[in-house]
């Protein structure tokens, strides 16, 4: 809290009487700037120039900040003063320069203080405070952050935050957005820049072991994968027969499968640091597909369909395999006339995932998923993390939940038949999955028992089943 006292103590009263200055002193102790709603069309972030003519009350506004490299912000505007009458300056605006004086923050404060004692006019260059909505891509516990300048706000992965002021480079002000509306509590959170800076510093001193235990197994299947390389290059989300067999053996132990493109995508994402994702609210008229990833996902999928058959369902897959006598087209499978036709449909991005088994193609089409969703049922999908991105591109935003094991020992406790080697392999697979697709998860779930995990997943799906959802926004942070 020492930093908060220093921050509030750096306020400067420009041409204001004692009463006005005391009002600011009381307000500045909270380090909270007044709120203003996000206007349609986004927020004005381009710097602008304002010319103010001093009157009997000076320029008619107060500032706060400027110590330890902090930015300088407008904290109070005197009603009827030059700043108020100009209509250009707003509380929360950041002052970038004053009368062409653009030097260090300390010098800028001193220049403004000296100028407030003189007469004439002053020229300000300001940037308007930013307001936006973001989805948190990490957990944050304010009680463990000793650098907070004021009251902090804790949040979890997947939480939606209304950032009401993102002007500062190090700290933002925000409040949580719940399914029932916005919380009244406002707190300080680390900025995207601060999160990434701290994480990069941490990564420099920590060796990454996510692939431990998988190197030898990867070498053993390298020769087999060469057989399907040409096919995988043409359709990156194909699974070869050998890969499917290997993945199925792991699935029996309770770990989710990955497709071939997940490995290549990880190479470009290893250095990515997840902080916040800009989002916007969108109305939908379908039941969102559900993708459960991680250990025990098969058990969870089965339990959801078994307990809520009226809410959850599965879609009919496509295949080039010939129809058997007891099979019904459109019910057991959609039987595709030719391999060439299915390959063309895959090239045309009509499938979220496809694979090859016994020289036959199998796949889950976007249209099959959409048919279930438009009937008002959540389509349970047994797919890889890559399918999340493809569904988003098709405007079918899934509820993607990752079951994150607490430890190898926790996995063994939940399944006492597992050996340490099996649990270790499952744990490593899960960590690799989180690394590759973490930014696409709706929520991350942990628990000490399958029952606890299952109950948490049911609650998340219920919370995410409204007509309004938060989807990725093209806005840059």
Question: 152 and 4 in contact (C-beta within 8 Å)?
Answer: no
Sign of CA dihedral 82, 85, 90, 95: negative
Q: What is the CATH number of the domain that holds 158?
A: 2.30.30.40
Question: 6 and 67 in contact (C-beta within 8 Å)?
Answer: yes
Q: Does residue 287 lie in a domain region?
A: yes
Domain boundary among 94, 127, 160: 127
Domain boundary among 92, 127, 162: 127
Domain boundary among 160, 178, 205: 205
Query: 302 by DSSP, 3-state: which?
Result: helix
Question: 363 and 320 in contact (C-beta within 8 Å)?
Answer: no
Distance CA 287, CA 372 (A): 8
Interior CA angle at 230 toward 240 and 212, to 5°? 60
> CA separation (Å) from 330 to 178, 312, 313, 336?
40, 19, 15, 10
Task: State CA 472 to chain mean position distance.
Answer: 8
Give 411's contacts (C-beta < 8 A, 6+ positions apart): 254, 295, 405, 418, 423, 426, 427
Question: 275 and 402 in contact (C-beta within 8 Å)?
Answer: no
Q: Answer yes or no: do 138 and 121 share one domain.
A: no
Going through 334-416 in order, the beta strands assigned E by DSSP cover 334-335, 351-357, 360-365, 378-381, 399-403
Distance CA 296, CA 450 (A): 8
Q: Answer yes or no: do 336 and 423 share one domain.
A: yes
Residue matched to tokens 């010319």: 51
CB-facing half-sphere around the CA of 351: CA atoms within 13 A: 25
Q: Answer yes or no: do 329 and 407 share one domain.
A: yes
What per-residue confidence (pLDDT) applies to 20? Answer: 33
Q: Which two tokens stand for residue 394?
A: 């098709």
Domain coverage including residue 172: 132-205
Q: Answer yes or no: do 114 and 36 share one domain.
A: yes
Distance CA 267, CA 175 (A): 35
Q: Answer yes or no: do 340 and 377 share one domain.
A: yes
Residue ranges in the chain whose pLDDT is less than 70? 1-46, 56-57, 65-71, 98-129, 206-271
Going through 314-392 in order, the beta strands assigned E by DSSP cover 318-319, 334-335, 351-357, 360-365, 378-381
At residue 204, what are phi and psi to the nearest 5 degrees?
A: -65, -25
CB-facing half-sphere around the CA of 74: CA atoms within 13 A: 26
Q: Does residue 237 lie in a domain region?
A: no
**351 strand-pairing partners:** 365
CB-facing half-sphere around the CA of 227: CA atoms within 13 A: 10
Q: Does residue 336 lie in a domain region?
A: yes
Distance CA 31, CA 149 (A): 8
Q: What is the CATH number of the domain that holds 311?
A: 3.40.50.300
Residue matched to tokens 């060796």: 207
Question: 149 and 31 in contact (C-beta within 8 Å)?
Answer: yes
Distance CA 441, CA 398 (A): 9
Q: Does residue 64 lie in a domain region?
A: yes
Q: Answer yes or no: do 57 and 194 share one domain.
A: no
Q: Does residue 231 lie in a domain region?
A: no
Report how many domains make up the chain: 3
What per-residue confidence (pLDDT) applies to 380? Answer: 98
What per-residue confidence (pLDDT) applies to 252? Answer: 35
Q: What percent of the chain has pLDDT over 90?
A: 52
CB-facing half-sphere around the CA of 414: CA atoms within 13 A: 23
Q: Which two tokens stand for residue 62?
A: 């107060």
Q: Which two tokens stand for residue 79?
A: 């009603």
Q: Does residue 153 lie in a domain region?
A: yes
Q: Answer yes or no: do 109 and 143 share one domain.
A: no
Alpha helices for 152-309 (secondary structure H): 192-205, 215-220, 222-227, 229-234, 241-251, 260-269, 297-307
Q: Answer yes or no: do 152 and 66 share one domain.
A: no
What's the pTM? 0.65
Q: Which helix (H) or strand (E) holds 347?
A: helix 339-347
Q: Does residue 249 lie in a domain region?
A: no
Q: Answer yes or no: do 115 and 191 share one domain.
A: no
Q: Answer yes or no: do 361 and 447 share one domain.
A: yes
Q: Does residue 275 lie in a domain region?
A: yes
Buried (b) or exposed (e) across 128-167, using 16+ Cβ within 10 A?
bbbbbbbbbbbebeeeeeeebbbbbbebebbbbbbbbbbb
Identify which of 253, 247, 266, 263 has the alpha carbon closest to the alpha carbon of residue 356: 247
Q: Answer yes or no: do 350 and 426 share one domain.
A: yes
Q: What is the CATH number of the domain that holds 120?
A: 2.30.42.10
Q: Answer yes or no: do 326 and 342 share one domain.
A: yes
């Amino acid at each position: 809290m020492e930093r908060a006292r220093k921050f509030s103590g750096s306020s400067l009263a420009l041409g204001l009487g004692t009463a006005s200055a005391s009002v600011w002193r009381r307000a500045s102790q909270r380090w909270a700037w007044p709120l203003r709603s996000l206007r349609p069309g986004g927020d004005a972030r381009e710097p602008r120039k304002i010319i103010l003519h001093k009157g009997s009350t000076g320029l008619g506004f107060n500032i706060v900040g400027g110590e330890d490299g902090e930015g300088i912000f407008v904290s109070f505007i005197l009603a009827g003063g030059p700043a108020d009458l100009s209509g250009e300056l707003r509380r929360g605006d950041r002052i970038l320069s004053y009368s062409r004086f653009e030097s260090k923050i300390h010098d800028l404060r001193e220049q403004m203080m000296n100028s407030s004692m003189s007469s004439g006019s002053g020229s300000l260059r300001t940037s308007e405070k930013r307001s936006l909505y973001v989805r948190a891509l990490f957990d944050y516990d304010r009680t463990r952050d000793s650098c907070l300048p004021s009251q902090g706000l804790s949040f979890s992965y997947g939480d939606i935050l209304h950032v009401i002021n993102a002007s500062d480079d190090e700290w933002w002000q925000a409040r949580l957005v719940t399914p029932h509306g916005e919380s009244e509590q406002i707190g300080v959170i680390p900025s995207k820049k601060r999160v990434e800076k701290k994480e990069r510093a941490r990564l420099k001193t920590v060796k990454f072991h996510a692939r431990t235990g998988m190197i030898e197994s990867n070498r053993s299947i390298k020769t087999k994968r060469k057989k399907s390389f040409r096919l995988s290059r043409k359709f990156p989300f194909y699974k070869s027969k050998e890969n499917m067999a290997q993945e199925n053996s792991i699935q029996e132990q309770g770990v989710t499968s990955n497709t071939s493109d997940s490995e290549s995508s990880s190479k470009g994402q290893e250095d990515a640091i997840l902080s916040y994702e800009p989002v916007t609210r969108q109305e939908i008229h379908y039941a969102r597909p559900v993708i459960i990833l991680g250990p025990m996902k098969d058990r969870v999928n089965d339990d959801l369909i078994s307990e809520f058959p009226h809410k959850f369902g599965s879609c009919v897959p496509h295949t080039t395999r010939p129809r058997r006598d007891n099979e019904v087209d459109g019910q057991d499978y959609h039987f595709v006339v030719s391999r060439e036709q299915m390959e063309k449909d895959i090239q045309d991005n009509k499938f979220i995932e496809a694979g090859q088994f016994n020289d036959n193609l199998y796949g889950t089409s976007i249209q099959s998923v959409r048919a279930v969703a438009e009937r008002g049922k959540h389509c349970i999908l047994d797919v890889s993390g890559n399918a999340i991105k493809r569904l988003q591109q098709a405007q079918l935003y899934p509820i993607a939940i990752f079951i994150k094991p607490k430890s190898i020992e926790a996995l063994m406790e939940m399944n006492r038949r597992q050996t340490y080697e099996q649990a270790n392999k499952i744990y490593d697979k899960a960590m690799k999955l989180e690394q590759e697709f973490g930014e696409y998860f709706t929520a991350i779930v942990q628990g000490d028992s399958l029952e606890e995990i299952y109950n948490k997943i049911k609650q998340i799906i219920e919370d995410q089943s409204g007509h309004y959802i938060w989807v990725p926004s093209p806005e840059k942070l």
